[in-house]
Amino acid sequence: MASRRTQTLEPESQEQAYLQIGEVAERTGVTQRTLRFYEERGLLKPPSRLDGGFRLYSEDDVRRVEQIKRLQSLLGFTLAEIKEMVEADEVKMQIRASYRKDAAISERRAKLLRAQEVTAGQMTVIEQKLAALQDMKANLAEKLGHYDSWLESLAEQERAQRA
Amino acid sequence: MASRRTQTLEPESQEQAYLQIGEVAERTGVTQRTLRFYEERGLLKPPSRLDGGFRLYSEDDVRRVEQIKRLQSLLGFTLAEIKEMVEADEVKMQIRASYRKDAAISERRAKLLRAQEVTAGQMTVIEQKLAALQDMKANLAEKLGHYDSWLESLAEQERAQRA
DNA sequence: CTTAACCTTGACGTACGCGTTAGATTAGGG
DNA sequence: CCCTAATCTAACGCGTACGTCAAGGTTAAG
């Protein structure tokens, strides 16, 4: 029996521990198909590969998958919308990378302003959803209050009946 | 020229003003196809009909459609999930209707408890989403703060350069 | 009674988000 | 070297949530 699964695939020295697709699938709760699909759609950057072609994911990739799942299942964003957010994050990373390096100040400021704009847009979307949710929560709380009082009046009727 | 569209279709005396499918579509922003589809899937109860077969919707129906749209587009529930919620609401209506009528007290209490349970379940779902959203909002706010400080440091560099 | 605007029920088409084989290749313990 | 679990690409399938004709019937103004 050749039960493979080198788990974290030997951190070569003190480098990152890379994960194969099966591990990532297990840890994130999505299928391997889904991971390849996200890659196809540009939600995950093409991971590095083993010589044989096996995908090697980083812990960052795992975190991104978890982020995608949250955005999708909890908040109902489409993959297209999530891709936009992810790309915005990429832009931010690039800005961070090219921070001290080349480039005129005005150019860097332009990029920062752009990133700020994108983030602000995401913020308004989220605030809209927050408002809607708080509205719904209030409605439900009201209903629960009604149920409580109805139940109490029922209990009262029972006591009256027993007397 | 026979330009129809009787709008609210003559409130026969002081009864409800019934709306045809076109009006409802216009007012809710969904297509007629969508309204028929929701009816097929049990999200809208089969509306009353004109003698010729034309659907006649009530204002309540309009409100329900708006509710469905909110649940779907803002919060990402599937139609199946929304159907469950709608059915829970129906149960509540039925309880309301059969309030003073028949039935033993224990039976009514059971129904109330069931409705309460369902509502509480919806509440926890919403609270989870709320928590996730607030988390995201905090993250975004933090990022915006970073951008602000970066921009300020850029401005400072500029001043230093000009001096 | 005519006619334009509105409605009806099919029935097929489509975009999204994966699921599911199928057939081949790779990794690594024995 | 062999064997098997794990992975690869390619391609078709499926459920959801409608869009989009097609072919007709209904309504109400003129």
The CATH number linked to A60 is 1.10.1660.10
The residue assigned the tokens 């009262």 is A156
Number of H helices, E strands in chain A: 5, 2
Average pLDDT value for residue range B127-149: 92
Tell me: do B71 and B128 sit in the same domain: no
On whether both B70 and B105 belong to a single domain, the answer is no
- From A136, which residue of chain B is nearest by alpha-carbon distance? B126
Closest by alpha carbon to A21, among A7, A32, A12?
Answer: A32
Residues in chain A with CB shorter than 8 Å from the CB of B72 are 76
pLDDT at A115 > cutoff 80: yes
Q: Sign of the C-alpha dihedral, residues A20, A24, A62, A129?
A: positive
- Assess whether B62 and B120 both reside in one domain: no
In 3D, which of B103, B121, B99 has the Cα closest to residue A144?
B121
B8 in a structural domain: no
Asked if B156 and B107 sit in the same domain, the reply is yes
- Note whether B104 and B159 are same-domain residues: yes
What is the per-residue pLDDT for B118? 81
Q: How confident is the model at residue B14 (pLDDT cuts 50, 70, 90)?
A: very low
Can you give the distance from the CA of residue B159 to the C1' of nucleotide D26 in angstroms? 76
In degrees and rounded to multiples of 5, residue A44 shows phi and psi of -120, 135
Query: pLDDT (tens digit, 9 = 90+) per residue, A40-77?
Result: 999 999 999 999 999 999 999 999 999 999 999 888 89
B161·A105 Cβ contact <8 A: yes
- Which of B93, B96, B127, B129 should be substituted to probe chain A, the one whose Cβ sees the most A Cβ atoms within 10 Å? B129
Residues in chain B with CB shorter than 8 Å from the CB of A109 are 151, 154
Give the rounded percent of residues in chain A with a pLDDT score beyond 90: 48
* Residue B86 belongs to a domain: no
A47 domain residue, yes or no: yes
Residue A128, class by beta-carbon neighbours within 10 Å (0-12 exposed, 13-18 middle, 19+ buried)?
exposed
Whether residue A92 is contained in a domain is answered as no
Neighbours of A153 (CB within 10 A): 10
Distance from CA of A4 to the nearest CA of B (A): 37
Task: Name which residue leads in pLDDT, A74 or A81.
Answer: A81
Cβ(B65)–Cβ(B28) under 8 Å?
A: yes
| Rounded (10°) CA dihedral B154, B156, B159, B163 | -120
> For B20-79, how does the pLDDT look when each residue is reduced to its tens digit (9 = 90+)?
999 999 999 999 999 999 999 999 999 999 999 999 999 999 999 999 999 998 888 999
Our measurement of CA A53 to C1' C24, in angstroms, reads 13
Residue recorded with tokens 């915005």: A88
- Locus of tokens 């975190």: A63
- CA–C1' A2–D1 (A): 15
My answer on whether B105 and B72 are in the same domain is: no
Grade residue A16 by pLDDT with cuts at 50, 70 and 90.
low
B116 and B65 in a common domain: no
B127 has a chain A CB within 8 A of its CB: yes
Residues B123 and B69 in one domain: no
Mutate to test the interface with B, among A71, A72, A73, A74 (most CBs of B within 10 A): A74
Q: Which residue of B lies nearest to A67 if distances are taken between CA atoms?
A: B136
* Residue B87 located in a structural domain: no
Tell me the HSE value of A54 on the side-chain side, using a 13 A CA sphere.
12
Q: Which residues of A touch B116 (CB under 8 A)?
A: 144, 147-148, 151
Nearest Cα to B58, choosing from B14, B9, B15, B16? B16
Establish if B83 belongs to a structural domain.
Answer: no
Q: How many domains does chain B have?
A: 2
The nearest CA of chain A is from the CA of B113 a distance in Å of 8
* pLDDT over 90, % of chain B: 49
Q: Is residue A67 part of a domain?
A: yes
Q: What are the start-end ranges of the E strands in chain A?
A: 48-49, 55-56
For the stretch B76-90, pLDDT in tens is: 899 999 998 888 888
Mean pLDDT of the region B89-114: 76
**Rounded distance, CA B141 to CA B137, Å?**
6
Structure-model confidence comparison of residues B72 and B107, the more confident one? B72
Asked if A75's CB is within 8 angstroms of B73's CB, the reply is no
Look at residue A7 and tell me whether its pLDDT is greater than 60: no
Q: Does A130 sit within 8 Å of B137, measured CB to CB?
A: yes
Nearest nucleotide (CA of B35 to C1'): D18
The whole-number pLDDT of residue B52 equals 96
For residue B66, the enclosing domain spans 15-77
Residue B119 lies in a domain: yes
Are residues B104 and B51 part of one domain? no
pLDDT band at A148 (very low <50, low <70, confident <90, very high): very high
Distance (Å, rounded) from C-alpha B123 to C-alpha A142? 11
Same domain for B104 and B154: yes
CA distance A133 to chain B (A): 7
> Do residues B64 and B109 share a domain?
no
Q: Say if B141 is an interface residue toward chain A (CB within 8 Å).
A: yes
**Tokens 């076109």 identify what position?**
B22
Kindly give, in sequence order, each residue whose CB lies less than 8 Å from that of residue B122, ignoring residues fewer than 6 positions away.
Answer: A140, B85, B88
> Averaging pLDDT over each range in A83-92, A113-122, A136-145, B98-107, which range is the top one?
A136-145
